[in-house]
Amino acid sequence: MALHFNSCPTELEEDQVLDYLHYLKSKSRTPSSSYFKHTVYGLRLAYKLSGVPSKQIFLPKLKLPKKLPVVLSQSEVKRLIKAAPLLKHQLIIGLLYGCGLRRFELINLQIRDVDVDRQMLYIREGKGRKDRYVPLGCLLVRGLQKYLQVEKPYLWLFNGRGPDGNLQQYSPTGVQWAIREAAKKAGIQKRVTSHVLRHTYATHLLEMGLDIMTLKDLLGHVDIKTTLVYLHVAQLDKERAFSPLDRLYHKSRS
């Protein structure tokens, strides 16, 4: 900004700053939204430190890219779980995929949240501080029963070791490390994260016939619009997409 105007940014008028931001926005290679944020927030801090009266500098309205979520295939999910060397890590991946949990929801799980008899999992204070129940299913229940018997976790369903060696809540980085190592061992080229497993859960449920409103409740979404994105990813039987090449050459062979 200083080079563009050949002037110290704190000496510029409000309309000059706004013109500059809109000039950047109109360029063929538009900077990222974080670039604009740093520019505006940096200017506000500069005004404050320099004792310059506050100016009304706002972010220009940016059109964010609409990216579809990365989703694993059913085969990739099986390979991922199988590649995890420890039962704890298999259950971490299994719960993220099998229950569609967010990472913070997983590490906040307590032993009392596992209802073996009803085969349900209680999610306390998910996003928006909303509680919800999600079904566990037979496979996860059997795995959790074995895990609880062998590992005997304390308070939290998954424990880690703190700097002092004492048991504590499992860390978010520990969760991501377990997923990353399993993906590497399974030979999965996609970047697999806890949220990719949640996306995969939602997509697979739709493909298996679950209705969108039930899925919304299972995911803990407030707005149905957030859930509708999975309709663009799921391959639904009623209008499953296909390549015209397959039909073209199949017809010619017959």
**Is 199 in the active site?**
no
Q: Which residue in the list 195, 232, 247, 249 is annotated as catalytic?
A: 195
Q: What is the pLDDT of residue 10?
A: 81
Q: pLDDT tens across 130-182, in order?
A: 889 999 989 999 999 999 999 999 899 999 887 887 888 899 999 999 999 99
Q: Which residue in the list 198, 199, 204, 216 is annotated as catalytic?
A: 198
Given a contact cutoff of 8 angstroms between Cβ atoms, the answer to whether 91 and 148 are in contact is: no
* Assigned CATH class of 74-237: mainly alpha
Give me the residue label for tokens 């609409």: 66
Instruction: Calculate ∠ Cα 51-54-55, nearest 5°.
Output: 130
What is the rounded distance in angstroms from the CA atom of residue 31 to the CA atom of residue 206?
36
pLDDT value at 28 more than 60:
no
Q: What share of the chain is helix, strand, coil (3-state, %, to 5)?
A: 55, 5, 35
Q: What is the pLDDT of residue 229?
A: 83
Q: What is the pLDDT of residue 225?
A: 81
Entry pTM: 0.70
**Is 55 in the active site?**
no
pLDDT more than 90, % of the chain: 48
As a whole number of Å, the end-to-end CA separation of the chain is: 66
pLDDT value at 60 more than 70:
no
Q: Three-state DSSP class for 193?
A: coil
**Is 221 in the active site?**
yes
Mean pLDDT score across all residues of the chain: 84
Of the listed ranges 55-59, 148-152, 174-178, 219-223, the one predicted with least confidence: 55-59
**Is 154 in the active site?**
no
- What amino acid is encoded at 48 in this protein? K
Q: Which residue in the list 25, 55, 79, 102 is annotated as catalytic?
A: 102
**Is 191 in the active site?**
no
Q: Once rounded to an integer, what is the mean pLDDT over residues 32-53?
A: 79
From the list 158, 135, 155, 154, the residue with the least C-alpha distance to 87 is: 158
Domain ranges (residues) in the chain: 2-50, 74-237
What is the rounded distance in angstroms from the CA atom of residue 137 to the CA atom of residue 244?
39
**Residue 171 burial (CB count, 10 A):** 14
Given a contact cutoff of 8 angstroms between Cβ atoms, the answer to whether 123 and 220 are in contact is: yes
Q: What is the pLDDT of residue 6?
A: 85
Q: Which residue has the higher pLDDT, 46 or 21?
A: 46
**Residue 219 burial (CB count, 10 A):** 22
Q: What is the pLDDT of residue 239?
A: 53
Q: What is the pLDDT of residue 63?
A: 59
Non-local CB neighbours of 75 within 8 Å, separated by 6+ positions = none
Q: What is the pLDDT of residue 133?
A: 93
Q: Which residue has the higher pLDDT, 228 or 202?
A: 202
- DSSP conformation letters of 135-170: E--HHHHHHHHHHHHHH---SBSSEEE-TTS-EEEP
**Is 250 in the active site?**
no
Q: What is the pLDDT of residue 59?
A: 60
Q: Once rounded to an integer, what is the mean pLDDT over residues 105-118?
A: 94
Q: Which residue in the list 82, 112, 118, 127 is annotated as catalytic?
A: 127
